[in-house]
Copies of this chain bind each other. A is one copy, B any other.
Amino acid sequence: MLDERKLAVLRAVVEDFVNTNEPVGSRALADRHPLGVSSATIRNDMVALEEEGYIAQPHTSAGRVPTDKGYRLFVDRLSSVKPLSAAERRAIESFLGGAVDLDEIVARTVRLLAQLTRQVAIVQYPSLTRSSVQHVELVPLGGRRIMMVVITNTGRVEQRVIDLLGSVRESVVDDLRTMLNRAIAGKHLGDVPDAVDDLPAQVAPEDRPVAVAVLSVLLESLVERHEEKIVLAGTANLAAVDFAASLRDVLEALEENMVLIRLLGEAKDPSMLTVRIGAENFHEGLRSTSVVSADYGVGNQSLAKIGVVGPTRMDYPGTMGAVRAVARYVGQILAGQ
């Protein structure tokens, strides 16, 4: 049904349209691509491609434009991820190398990705759920408050202030800290609730309310409160594009953290590049955008995702290459920390 040449035509249509942003006609195609046939033949092929729904005409007597389905086929079968140039690799390395803490790694990553792809980049902070507790610190803040700081093995630091009903002696806090660390240091976060289950029973009855307050905040901040932090950069790159949907809708969608989380979360095969094209995205305002995303992590443990949002009419091979490369480097940097 779709022989080699028709696929080649589709590929050419996609590539030309991405380059020029104008419907591409049979003559232009015959000129610019070595397909070895005349424009008339290409026209016939285009009719076939159109019948199958891979391309469409904006109006009669205009050239053809790829449909979402066409991009899908292009990504799945007609293109390969384009590796970065040596210069780009060096740029990544030197740019990410200078980061001092997790915040900065993430901040630099997102800017880098936006710059490489000239699109909007999204980076998710390493997930808490898959990491383990490195250390818990309790700091009496004088009076009836304690600050709790939890450090994870992925470099993430969560801090919360705990309001107590009454004041508390410093020695109690010290004991609690020791017990807590003995109980959960090194533990996977998912196991924390079980591990602290019997802690209140081990403290003197009069200190029990304090222990309970601390534990409830701990559990809330680590487990229940799934809140995933997400950072985004490169929105200025959207201004250059003209969307079917209004730019405003796209910007609005991108300002909603929940939308971003879902966008990245829809990736199917972890540890692989995922591409969601146009209407494949659940969100109304993102109908004319595509999302390229990838997992990053340390070793084979996936920690979170990064991605790029751009018009469906994007350079998929290049974008995929950039996303994959950056994901790998971030993993390396995190491992080295």
A134 within 8 A of B: yes
Question: What is the interface of chain A, defined by CB distance below 8 A to chain B?
Answer: 100-101, 134-135, 137, 139, 141, 147, 149, 151, 155, 157, 159-161, 233-236, 238-240, 246-248, 251-252, 254-255, 337
Q: Which residues in B have their C-beta under 8 angstroms from that of A239? A: 246-248, 251
Q: What is the CA–CA distance of A252 and B234 in the complex, to the nearest angstrom?
A: 8
| Cβ–Cβ < 8 Å partners of A254 in chain B | 236
- In the assembled complex, the CB of A182 is this many whole angstroms from the nearest CB of chain B, namely 14
Find out whether the CB atom of A141 lies under 8 angstroms from the CB atom of B134.
Answer: yes
* Chain B residue at minimum C-beta to C-beta distance from A253: B236
CB < 8 Å: which of B137, B141, B235 contacts A251? B235
Set of chain B residues within 8 Å of A236, measured between Cβ atoms? 248, 251-252, 254-255
Chain B residue numbers with a CB within 8 Å of A137 are: 137, 139, 149
Complexed CA–CA distance, A247 and B248 (Å) = 12
Chain B residues whose CB sits within 8 angstroms of the CB of A235 once the complex forms: 235, 251, 255
Residues B157 and A159 in contact, CB atoms below 8 Å apart: yes
Complexed CA–CA distance, A251 and B139 (Å) = 41
Write out the residue numbers on chain B whose beta carbons fall within 8 Å of the beta carbon of A238. 251
Q: B240–A255 contact, CB under 8 A? A: no
In the bound assembly, the distance between CA atoms of A157 and B139 in angstroms comes to 12
Could you tell me the distance between the alpha carbons of A149 and B147 in the complex, rounded to whole angstroms?
11
Q: A147-B151, A236-B255, A239-B248 known; 19 other A-B pairs, CB under 8 Å?
A: A101-B159, A101-B160, A101-B161, A135-B139, A135-B141, A135-B147, A137-B137, A137-B139, A137-B149, A139-B149, A147-B157, A149-B157, A155-B161, A161-B337, A234-B255, A235-B235, A236-B248, A236-B252, A240-B248
